[in-house]
Chains A and B, each alone.
Chain A
């Protein structure tokens, strides 16, 4: 099975506090630690496990600037066979549809049976997978937390819906699936793995290699445009307890007792 996994380089929220820049035009990017989007890591692990069982190869692809190469390389260290970076000044400022348009062009240059994305990325949209499927006229399923290969024409998949219930479907190949966290346990990538792929060439494709019209992507084509970043003022918020750890604990215990929080 030939599998393409779409991965995005995002600020790691476990490592950073995300703050709005003074003029509101962006977040503070200076000291951010970036990593591969959490959901995409599960998608790559799933692809590797599927190929381990059914044969074939895993290709990871990212749309981004040259620094996005590092996440492609990281996922190759995990065990993906090929990497691709889609990068061009014309791609900058793309909305979800723009990103899907770029990815679609890359998909059409290959011959994939299965395309995986993460269910969600840093922008909280959860849109690229579903858009890509519609552009390619392929069946789609979101928030997938189980994949079983039935034969070379179809998969049995589970979607994790509300309440943690699992909706089972049979889906025709080729198809696009967006992967939910928890579907597997992504393997650890050590220094050894990183070193092994350190010098692998990762092809970089832009508008001309992909045959994408520059005006169909990027900021100019975007129908959803971000105006600013801000932190909303949501009323009073929490009463913050101040003092030493012991003082805070004493204050909190009084409050908890009053609310029935200590039995």
Chain B
């Protein structure tokens, strides 16, 4: 049987991230009898607040308090975890930019198995865990067998294990700070530079016409702008459009861009990667225009149009204009 299950808790300003509860749910899906232990690192009052908060959903909360941990620097936290975790630990971490930083190396240092970006678990048999992953930005899924005999570090995709809320388990905080020992600082955190504010604030818009790589060329951005104008909407986009410098960063929807809450979201030539959809909240009415009928966006959209957007969007623009 696999070892003790742990969950690394991510938090901000003294408040645990949604993933703190999602990891409890994920642990339950691996093994219904597992009672995961929360690991919370940091320093001072924010740390204490989070430890107390998560006792509502974790029976045991390990607290590590140290000045060097004040900012969550994965390079330091990894060293700490290697010292304090049992050899066969199964460690759950949210698959965000912190988890991407921490986990692959952690698994190597623990000599355990790393399983990246899991979207579901389908049972544990002996030491073999069957998990579901996605490849090609969600175009296909795979089942993988993971060997947990030496423990594992498992990155769980945020948002897929919907939590029902804190369970009121009344757990206890165990202060493990004395076990921290010496930490080597080969990567030193300096500061966080906030993303630039642009000319429009897409987070406040009700209707967004969003373009992805399917727009194919910078000159075609106009097609989306004309449609947006006819609809009384604003243009947003996926990441490749910003990488290509066709639109400003402030127009990017997604985990590394803006979180938007429109009423209507029109996705033109966007495949529907989880990093993009991660920025779409509030259950909008989603219209997807994509020439690939198997694009993952059609699984989350309300209405789908399987067409070349370069042909369809101008027709739609014209028809809207006619009706006005």
Contacts and interface: CB of A to CB of B under 8 A. Distances in A.
A238 B59 CA distance: 41
Interface in A225-263: 225-232, 234-235, 237-241, 245-246, 248-250, 252-253, 255-256, 259-263
A123 B140 CA distance: 10
B312 A249 contact: yes
A226 B143 contact: yes
Interface stretch (B34-42, B170-178, B242-250): B242-250
A62 interface: no
Interface string B94-107: 00111011111111
A230 to B, nearest CB: 5
Contacts of A256: 231, 264, 287
Interface residues of A, number: 83
Nearest to A158: B193
Interface stretch (A80-88, A107-115, A160-168, A207-215): A160-168
B141 A96 contact: no
B292 interface: yes
Contacts of A180: 256
B100 A143 contact: yes
B145 A253 contact: no
B207 A172 contact: no
Given A96-B116, A126-B117, A165-B195, A181 B105 contact: no
Given A231-B141, A261-B263, A223 B105 contact: no
Interface stretch (B25-33, B47-55, B298-306): B298-306
Interface string A1-38: 00000000001011001111000000100000000000
Interface stretch (B62-70, B161-169, B218-226, B314-322): B314-322
A139 B79 CA distance: 11
A182 B105 contact: no
Given A17-B292, A134-B109, A260 B319 contact: no
A124 interface: yes
A261 B266 contact: yes
A89 interface: no
A185 interface: yes
B255 interface: yes
A259 B256 contact: no
A119 interface: yes
Contact of A166 (B192, B266, B301): B192
Query: Dominant SS at the B interface?
Result: mixed
Contacts of A161: 97-98, 192, 256
A27 B206 CA distance: 39
Interface stretch (B1-9, B84-92, B128-136): B128-136
Contacts of A225: 144-145
Given A253-B320, A255-B303, A260-B263, A167 B100 contact: no
Nearest to B244: A185
Given A126-B104, A229-B141, A229-B142, A163 B263 contact: no
A245 B315 contact: yes
Interface in B238-268: 239-240, 242-245, 249, 252, 255-259, 263-264, 266
Interface in A157-215: 158-172, 175, 178, 180-182, 185
A248 B307 contact: yes
A236 to B, nearest CB: 9
B187 to A, nearest CB: 4
A126 to B, nearest CB: 5
A252 B318 CA distance: 13
A261 B231 contact: yes
Contacts of B256: 143, 160-164, 180
A238 B301 contact: yes
A248 B305 contact: yes
B114 A97 contact: yes
A130 B140 contact: no
A142 interface: yes
A160 B256 CA distance: 7
Interface hub of B100, B190, B249, B294 (most chain A Cβ within 10 A): B100
A125 B102 CA distance: 13
A239 B192 contact: no
Interface in A121-153: 122-131, 133-135, 139-143
Contact of B187 (A14, A124, A139, A245): A139
B319 A13 contact: no
B285 interface: yes
Given A122-B135, A128-B104, 8 more contacts: A13-B139, A125-B116, A127-B104, A134-B105, A163-B257, A164-B195, A224-B113, A253-B316
29 contacts: A97-B107, A97-B114, A124-B138, A130-B102, A131-B114, A135-B108, A140-B187, A142-B74, A156-B190, A161-B98, A162-B256, A165-B195, A168-B191, A168-B192, A169-B189, A171-B186, A185-B244, A224-B115, A224-B147, A230-B142, A239-B304, A240-B303, A240-B305, A245-B312, A253-B319, A255-B303, A256-B231, A261-B263, A262-B320
